[in-house]
Structure 1
């Protein structure tokens, strides 16, 4: 009898540790458009963000827009998870005062973090701007640790071009790219230098005026998505395909019914989860609330992708198993979505 009790206690302890680490033996449910609590019960503040995977741990970086932020600082939030559902809060990875005398309403947006295996450094890119968006540069901060201690390094215009919204892409061969919106010319996909501290060369300039850019490589094709230039207001996000990042790219098509305006969301990244049973591509989007930015939500959904087609299903609860790569939509009716943003 005592052996059985010890065995049950051991199993319970293992289960508790697994829960504490954000690991579960069964698929976990994601609720698009709802409050997304972290391990403290607070809504995740990682807007306009990106995901970095290190080993079995995913790090989610994004704009930390808490109500009690110091108005003189800008913050980059950082959370970690092993199942992409349960997120552990870390202190903001970056707390930055105005780095270049940009003025009271200066901007830090869309942070993305790359890991450089050669230098063993974490490099954070973000859109850095003045309040009237006239600077249009990328800023860089670096750290030796994934989740903290980022220090501001510099800002510049990549390839001498305007840069507003940025995205990140790491190809299957490990090469790293910055995606940036250059309003006079279009949508750049540019390769980073070996140390990731600058942009080495333009791989492709797609002559489309799009922001919220993201790229994924799936079954031999590259898929690029982005949104139109409508500020906070949602619009029909579109996608194109190519066999090479350099193009040529196909015409852009809607990822969802155009009247749905991408279900109120704007793209920020496409995340590929590869497992032994399936490969799932997740559309990561922001449901912006400009007047209550701390309450802005997230729309994460598995896309239907393949043979040159990409479709974003309407928001429903869905499960994800990061160990097998499998995703499944589980709810019969969509969850309540937040009100559409106003200018």
Structure 2
């Protein structure tokens, strides 16, 4: 009887959450709030994998954890476990930092390559770390850390172009933020495509109808701010002036950019609503953008759903 009740409860939860509710608790298949903060998504065949910072309560503070979730529809997510459990890899000391994990699949090596921001408590280490796995859902093994092209690197973002070329976006506090191409094996950074000389972090890029759109967040720490966007005909630029993605007084509806996910003709803004004193309760703001002809706008968040086969989406109030 207990087993039947549990099954019925899970079915009810799934039915109630056959949509995306920006800013609300987002339960996984076990009914737990998804812990994939500062994350990134890749698609392997018909399955999306979402990686992020594991922030649940009760974790061993000697380690840092990266979680993984899988979905076929972007609305229902199955927890695949903590695919990276890492002790201090570079003797960085107490309160060392692992943030914004992003995973790429390398067809050449058939390896899954995870990049993340690796830092000391005072944020002076400023490097990327790399871990690899033979499977998308781990386990991942730490390989090394480095400063991409010799520059400081803090917040990172990922971008995979329509031709499959992989890039990393990284924030270099003294100079701006870089858009850089990964090497063929994804184990290092090969070429700087652009240095956008603006004080921005949380970089995210999408290629849409022949134009590149770049989003970034101002440097205000945990506090939300008006995120901005610029466009360019190529990743090398030239980039336009940055403009607001939403009414500036809304401060991006309390969120910070982390990724732009393209599903056919729909582009989804993925943002984090950070709660620094209750990081395990930090939420997600996912919302389709109004985008095209050099313009980009983040609408007022509202429940919505998507058909991943066609990219068609609709508000639940329609």
TM (norm. structure 1) is 0.88
Partner residue of 1:339? none
| Inter-partner Cα distance in structure 2 for 1:303 and 1:330 | 16
In structure 1, what is the equivalent of residue 4 of structure 2? Answer: none
Among 230, 240, 246, the alignment partner of 1:256 is: 246
Number of residue pairs aligned between Structure 1 and Structure 2: 307
Please tell me whether residue 294 in structure 1 is matched to residue 284 in structure 2. Answer: no
Aligned counterpart, 2:158: 168
Equivalence for 2:48 = 58
**Structure 2 residue 136 is the aligned partner of structure 1 residue 150:** no
Alignment pair present for 1:273 and 2:263 = yes
Pick aligned residue for 2:167 from 166, 170, 177 = 177
**Partner SS for 1:189:** strand
- Are 1:239 and 2:229 counterparts? yes
Counterpart for residue 321 of structure 1:
307
Distance 1:43 1:331 in 2: 24
Residue deviations 1:145-193 (CA, integer Å, cap 9, x gap): 1011100000000000000000000000000001000001001000000
Q: 1:336 is matched with which residue? A: none
Offset of residue 209 of structure 1: 1.2
Aligned to 1:30, the other structure's residue is in SS state coil
Q: TM-score, normalised by structure 2?
A: 0.94
1:209 is aligned to 2:195: no
State the partner residue of 1:193: 183
Offset of 1:68 from its aligned partner? 1.2
Partner residue of 1:121 out of 105, 111, 132: 111
The answer on whether the counterparts of 1:226 and 1:238 sit within 8 Å (CA) in structure 2 is yes
C-alpha distance in 1 between matches for 2:139 and 2:96: 22
Q: Contact 1:28/1:83 (CA < 8 Å) preserved in 2? A: no
The residue aligned with 1:330 is 316
SS at structure 1 position matched to 2:230:
strand
Runs of 4+ in 1 over 4 A off after TM superposition: none
Indicate if the aligned counterparts of 1:28 and 1:320 stay in contact, CA closer than 8 A: no
CA deviation digits over 1:266-299, x for unaligned, max 9? 000000001xxxx110000000000000000000
| 2:75/2:305 contact within 8 Å kept | no
Question: 1:68-107: CA deviations, max 9, x gaps?
Answer: 1111000001000000010000110100000011001100
Q: Determine the C-alpha separation between the residues in 2 that align with 1:136 and 1:224.
A: 22
**In structure 1, what is the Cα distance between the partners aligned to 2:74 and 2:59?**
26
State the 1:328 CA deviation.
Answer: 1.2
Which structure has the larger Rg over C-alpha atoms? 1
Describe the SS at the equivalent of 1:263.
helix
* Cα root mean square deviation, aligned: 1.6
Shift of 1:257: 0.2
**2:60 counterpart of 1:74:** no
Aligned equivalents of 1:123, 1:161: Cα separation in 2: 21
**Corresponding position of 1:84:** 74
In 1, distance between residues paired with 2:317 and 2:38? Answer: 26
State the SS of the aligned residue for 1:180.
Answer: strand
Question: 1:236 touches 1:260 (CA, 8 Å); kept in 2?
Answer: yes
CA contact (8 A) 1:28 1:321 kept: no
> Which 5+ residue runs of structure 2 have no aligned equivalent?
1-6
Measure the CA separation in 2 of the matches of 1:246 and 1:141: 28
